[in-house]
Amino acid sequence: MKVIEFEKYGPAEVLQIVQKDIPEPGPGEIRIRIHSTAVNSGDWRVRRADPFLVRLFFGLFKPGQKARVLGSVLSGTVDAIGAEVTRFAPGDRVFGMSDLALGCYAQYICLPESAPVVKGVESLSHEEAASIPFGLHTAYHFLKGAHLENGKRMLVLGASGAVGSAAVQLGRIWGCEVTAVCSERNVELVKGLGANSVIDYEKDGLSDLKKFDVVIETVGKTRPDRLRNLVMPGGQLILVSGAMKDMLLAGIRSAIWKIKVKSGVALVSIQDMEYFRELIESGQYRPVLERSYDMSNVVAAHKHAENGHKRGNLALRMIT
């Protein structure tokens, strides 16, 4: 099989296509033939070792053997199962995540059947399905505990990206009044996702806005001390792209600022993935896919993702 891997941290050009043996599923595992994965911020951050903390998890001087194949999301077909597997059968269409195990920049992967992978949605292409899990699971992880009942006010910064576009749609689904911040070229896209109002960050400031129940910053470009003034007392400030400093200071800032400051690592479960499938099948949620790349163009895909201006998601076709 073809696999995209990297042997040292660095620019997109460190990614190389190599040949490896197709893995065999062990007891309790399924083997998935991956049709498509996606290029997300987590991928290029691991590749660049940015922030430095990446090295503590994936290899101090160079990526460890298990970290050399990036990719945490997939859409494909189960083509073999190990002993004692009951959730899936060969031929099942699936989508989901390998999460921190990575390994989805490959044409085949073996995962435990307990991984956050569920039956696929036939109405979507594999590229569309692979573009769903990263942004949606991240937004859902941070917002599901925010109690966003009907009428609550939410501000989404970076509303046209993978996480931001998912946050806007979740806010609409839950009946919130959503104000979105993005560039002028993405205003119509974000309105179409359900934002009640859209702010062009290149023209309009944030200082005159009414306060919000929840402010979610998805791109890490606005300082938390500026955003705190946009959150009403007792509300929440969510820093999706927060640095380690933001994670460590979350409790202190919460106490001093009289709001709940939330940051950290987004977790995902099978139950979450089942909920996402329900949202898609019911027509309440739609993936935002800007572009698909063949695996031979992975360097270009990474450069596109890294420039910080992608609209929604970028898919990477592993089967062509």
Q: In this structure, are 87 and 193 located in the same domain?
A: no
Range of the domain at 103: 2-132+287-317
pLDDT on residue 207 = 77
Q: Considering its fold, how many domains does the chain have in total?
A: 2
Average pLDDT score over residue span 9-37: 98
Q: Which residues does residue 95 pair with via DSSP β-bridges, in sequence order?
A: 75, 118
Choice between 57 and 120, residue whose per-residue pLDDT is larger: 120
**Phi, then psi, of 46 in degrees rounded to 5:** -65, -45
Residue 307 has pLDDT above 90, yes or no: no
pLDDT on residue 53 = 81
Q: Please report whether residue 281 resides in a domain.
A: no
Instruction: State the average pLDDT for the chain.
Output: 93
Q: Which residues does residue 18 pair with via DSSP β-bridges, in sequence order?
A: 3
Query: Residue 50 is encoded by which pair of tokens?
Result: 């940015």
Choice between 195 and 267, residue whose per-residue pLDDT is larger: 195
Q: In this structure, are 120 and 57 located in the same domain?
A: yes
The CA distances from residue 282 to 96, 206, 218, 257, in Å, are 18, 35, 26, 40
- Output the domain CATH number for residue 201: 3.40.50.720
pLDDT on residue 82 = 97
CA 220-224-227 angle, 5° bins: 105
- Output the domain CATH number for residue 301: 3.90.180.10
CA 99-266-44 angle, 5° bins: 60
pLDDT band at 151 (very low <50, low <70, confident <90, very high): confident
Q: Please report whether residue 44 resides in a domain.
A: yes
Q: In this structure, are 301 and 237 located in the same domain?
A: no
pLDDT on residue 77 = 98
In angstroms, rounded to a whole number, what is the distance separating the alpha carbons of residues 296 and 293?
8
**Phi, then psi, of 19 in degrees rounded to 5:** -105, 135
User: Of 221, 222, 229, 210, nearest to 309 (Cα)?
Assistant: 221
Q: Please report whether residue 91 resides in a domain.
A: yes
pLDDT band at 52 (very low <50, low <70, confident <90, very high): confident
Q: In this structure, are 197 and 109 located in the same domain?
A: no
Average pLDDT score over residue span 250-272: 91
- Percentage of residues of the chain with pLDDT beyond 90: 78
CB 298 within 8 A of CB 15: yes
Residue 68 has pLDDT above 90, yes or no: yes
Residue 244 has pLDDT above 80, yes or no: no
